[in-house]
Amino acid sequence: GDSVTQMEGPVTLSEEAFLTINCTYTATGYPSLFWYVQYPGEGLQLLLKATKADDKGSNKGFEATYRKETTSFHLEKGSVQVSDSAVYFCALVYNFNKFYFGSGTKLNVKP
Amino acid sequence: DTGVSQDPRHKITKRGQNVTFRCDPISEHNRLYWYRQTLGQGPEFLTYFQNEAQLEKSRLLSDRFSAERPKGSFSTLEIQRTEQGDSAMYLCASSLARGGTYNEQFFGPGTRLTVL
């Protein structure tokens, strides 16, 4: 069945460090891929998306490229800020527009 | 605020009691989704509606769970005879679906249920 696997956290970085959060997926068709972010006490917010292979999603300095050959959608940011501290969820959408989410990766950024 | 709202934000109940949650989607959105999120996990799909029709239910949605969206606007999720394993965050999301294209789902803040 369809599923998403993402790296376990927490990930702790110093401000301005480079961030990578790994995400791989299993899908029987051609899903769209997403990263959602959940700040403390808030609901899930769409961070970026890619709807087909080789697409790159980007937003707020974050990027992720849809790699069909490696079934991956890794999240990257060149220089993290304390305000980026949150839980990040990788997800795919396939059939009926329902999401399959990964288990989330908590990011802590220290000043 | 025109986002998705959920009520209550927190609910504590005793095992065996019934609880009902409400979700108010973004007003023009025709699709409404319910998810459950347990600690340390990502949200899991429960069910979704297109207008007032419930189009899919997950196997996670046991007979004790029922969801309605009677007028195609707000939705309720009821859990009967609650069990401690029902303790979780219940998330609602809505989207405006047109044809076969995907449209972004907007999530509410969730209702946190604790069953004692």
What are the structure tokens assigned to A86, written together?
Answer: 């949150």
Name the more confident of B103 and B70.
B70
Please tell me the distance in Å from A42's CA to the nearest CA on chain B: 6
Q: For A65, which DSSP code?
A: E
Average pLDDT over every residue of B3-8:
95
Q: What strands, in cross-sheet order, belong to the sheet with B65-68? A: B5-7, B19-24, B75-79, B65-68
Identity of the amino acid at A50? A
Q: Choose the closest CB to A103 out of B4, B40, B105.
A: B40
Q: Is A42 on the interface with B (CB under 8 A)?
A: yes
Percent of chain B whose predicted confidence (pLDDT) is above 90 = 76
- A6: which 2 tokens? 């993402």
Q: Quote the CA–CA distance of A64 and A66 in Å, as a whole number.
A: 7
Is the model's pLDDT at A95 over the cut of 70? no
B98 pLDDT band (50/70/90 cuts)? confident
Q: What is the pLDDT of residue A14?
A: 97
Chain A residues near residue B109 by CB distance under 8 angstroms: 41-43
**Rounded to an integer, what distance in angstroms lies between the CA atom of residue A22 and that of residue A36?**
14
How is residue B25 annotated by DSSP?
A: -
pLDDT in tens, A31-62: 899 999 999 888 899 999 998 899 999 999 99
Residue A87 pLDDT more than 70? yes
Comparing CA positions, the residue from A109, A76, A89 lying closest to residue A5 is A89
The model's pLDDT over B17-70, given as tens digits with 9 standing for 90+, comes to 999 999 999 998 999 999 999 988 899 999 999 999 998 888 888 899 999 999
Alpha-carbon Rg of chain A, whole angstroms? 13
Confidence (pLDDT) at B87:
97
CA–CA gap between residue A55 and residue A53 (Å, rounded): 6
* Cα(A86)–Cα(B105) distance, integer angstroms: 19
Instruction: Measure the CA angle with vertex B109, ends A62 and B9; round to 5°.
Output: 155
pLDDT of res. A109: 97
Separation CA B23–CA B77 (nearest Å): 8
What pLDDT is recorded for position B94?
Answer: 93
Measure the N-to-C terminal CA separation of chain A; round to a whole number of Å.
41
Residue among B44, B47, B43, B114 at smallest CA distance from B85: B114
| Residue contact B48–A44, C-beta within 8 A | no
What is the average per-residue pLDDT within A17-31? 92
Q: For residue A28, what pLDDT band results from cuts at 50, 70 and 90?
A: confident
The whole-number pLDDT of residue A2 equals: 81
